Amino acid sequence: MRPLDPVTSRQRVAYGLAFFVVFVALWSWATFGGHVSKVFLANPLTMVLEGYDLLAKQGFAYDIGMTIWRVVGGFALAALIAVPLGVMMGAYKPVEAFLEPFVSFARYLPASAFIPLLILWAGIGELQKLLVIFIGSVFQIILMIAVTVGTTRRDLVEAAYTLGASDRGVIHRVLLPSSAPEIAEILRLVLGWAWTYVIVAELIGSSSGIGHMITDSQALLNTGQIIFGIIVIGLIGLLSDFMFKAFNAWLFPWRLA
C-alpha cells in the first residue's frame, strides 16, 4: 500500500467484505467461546434466529416500514425548506448576514433536546417524530449548501454578467449548475444523520418503528433482537446511500470526469 494509491472496484468490494468477515469472526469468538455473557451480547446465530422471529411472527416488517417513512418524510421536509434558504444565503450576502448567526447557533442544538417540547406541542404521533428529524437535519443542510454556493468561482459569475445575465439568471445558470453536484452530495450525507435522529424519536412515546422494538427488547434483555434492529438500520442506510450515490452519478455525470 502507498499513500493515496487508488484501488480497483473488485479490491474495494473484497476489502469491504473482508472487514465484515473479520468482525463476525471476532464476534463469534467472543460469544461462542464464552468470553462474553449472552446476557450482554447475543451470538450471531441467536441474533439471526431472533431476527427471523421478529420478521415472521412479530410483524417487524411494519416497524421497518414506519421507520423508513419517518426518515423520508422528515428529511424531505427539511430539504424542501433548507435547499432554497441555503442557496439564498450563499448567493446574497445580506441574507447570509441576517440568517447565519441563527443557523450557526441552531445547528449545535441536539434534536433530542426538543423531544419534550415537541411532545407538548405535537403530541406523540407522527408529526412529533417528523419534526425531530426535521430539526436535526434542516440547519445542517442550510449552512452546508450556503457555503457550497458561496464558494462558486467568481470568474464564472463575472463572465455571466459580462454576457448580459440578470441577477436571477446568474443564480439559475451559474450558481445552481455549478453547485448542484455538491448539493446532492450534501443531501446524501445528511440523510445518514437523519437515521440517527429517527431512532431517538422512536425511543420515546412510540408504539411502532425500529426504535420502539429496540426499547421493548431492552426491557426483556433480548440483545439478539437489539443487535438485529441495529443491523437492519445499518443495511437500510447502506442501501439508501448506494442508491443516492448512483442517482447522483447518473444526474451529474460530469462530476466524475
As a whole number of angstroms, the distance between CA 132 and CA 210 comes to: 16
Stretch 158-187: mean pLDDT? 82
Stretch 180-195: mean pLDDT? 90
* CATH at residue 161: 1.10.3720.10
Query: Confidence class of residue 114 from pLDDT cuts 50, 70 and 90?
Result: confident
22 occurs within a structural domain: no
111 occurs within a structural domain: yes
Name the least confident of 12-16, 97-101, 128-132: 12-16
47 occurs within a structural domain: no
Max CA distance (Å), the chain: 75
Full residue range of the structural domain in which residue 92 is found: 58-256
In the chain, helix, strand, coil percent, each to 5? 80, 0, 20
Handedness of CA 185, 189, 192, 194 (dihedral sign): negative
19 occurs within a structural domain: no
Domain count, the chain: 1
Query: Confidence class of residue 115 from pLDDT cuts 50, 70 and 90?
Result: confident
132 occurs within a structural domain: yes
Cell of 209: 418503528
The listed range with the strongest mean pLDDT (61-70, 174-183, 209-218) is 61-70
Stretch 172-184: mean pLDDT? 86
Burial 98-114 (b: 16+ CB within 10 A, else e): ebbeebeeebeeebbeb
Cell of 151: 464558494
pLDDT at 4 over 70: no
72 occurs within a structural domain: yes
Query: Confidence class of residue 256 from pLDDT cuts 50, 70 and 90?
Result: low
6 occurs within a structural domain: no
40 occurs within a structural domain: no
Query: Confidence class of residue 218 from pLDDT cuts 50, 70 and 90?
Result: confident
Stretch 136-161: mean pLDDT? 86
